[in-house]
Amino acid sequence: MHRSPVMNKRALMALLIGAMTAGTGLAKTPGEVPIGGVLRQAPMQGLSGTNQNLSDFRGKPLVINVWASWCGPCVQEMGSLERLHQAYGGKQFNVIGISTDDYWTNAKGFLQKTRISFRNFIDNRLFLEHMLGADRLPLTLLVDAKGRVLAKVYGAQAWDSPQSVAMIAQTFKVKL
C-alpha cells in the first residue's frame, strides 16, 4: 500500500503530539519537572563510567531513557536506543540511561549482557525517577541544550525508526 506524503506528515505530527502530551492529566511524581520546565541539578552514580552531575550534559540536546533490568518493555527498546546512539549520539545530541533498579549488580549485569555503550547511571534512591516523572517505565525524555524538558515519551519505542528519528530531529530542531 502506498502512503501519500500528506499522510506521513500527519502520522509524524500525531506521533510528536502524542509523545509530548503522554501522561498529562495523570498523577505527578513528587518533585516532577513538567514539560517546559528545566531539570534541576542532580548527582548521578555511574554504571558505565564515573559519577557525573546531570548538568554536565548541558550544552547539547539530550535523550534520557529511564529503565530497569526487570522491565520487559525497557529491555525491548534498549537495542534501538543503542542503534540511535551509534548513529547520532554525541554528534547533535547525547543519549544516556538512568536505571531504577534497586541493586547496582542487576543493572550493571544487564548492561554487560546487552553491550550497551551509551552512558548509564543508577537511581536507586528515587531522586531522578521522581524528578523525571517516571511513574511507569520505560520513559524517555527529550531535553534541550539548556536542560529544558521538551517531550516525555512513555512506553517502548523503536528509537532508531525513521518516525522516531524524524520526531527527535523536529523536537531538537536539528537535521539528522
Element (H, E) at 118: none
Strand partners, 66: 98, 139
Global pTM value = 0.85
Beginning with the edge strand found earlier in the chain, give each strand of the sheet holding 119-122 in spatial order. 52-53, 43-46, 119-122, 94-99, 62-67, 139-143, 149-154
CATH of the domain at 143: 3.40.30.10
Structural domain count of the chain: 1
* The predicted structure's pLDDT at residue 5: 44
* The predicted structure's pLDDT at residue 170: 97
Strand partners, 43: 53
* The predicted structure's pLDDT at residue 76: 96
**Under a CB-based contact definition with an 8 Å cutoff, are residues 158 and 87 in contact?**
no
**Under a CB-based contact definition with an 8 Å cutoff, are residues 149 and 37 in contact?**
yes
Q: Can you give the residue range of the structural domain that contains 145?
A: 5-172
* pLDDT (tens place) for every residue of the chain, 176 residues total: 444 444 444 444 444 445 444 444 454 888 999 999 999 999 999 998 899 999 999 999 999 999 999 999 999 999 999 999 999 988 999 999 999 999 999 999 999 999 999 999 999 889 999 999 999 999 999 999 999 999 999 999 999 999 999 999 999 999 99
Distance of CA 37 to CAs 32, 133, 143, Å?
A: 9, 12, 10
pLDDT (tens digit, 9 = 90+) per residue, 108-142?
999 999 999 999 999 988 999 999 999 999 999 99
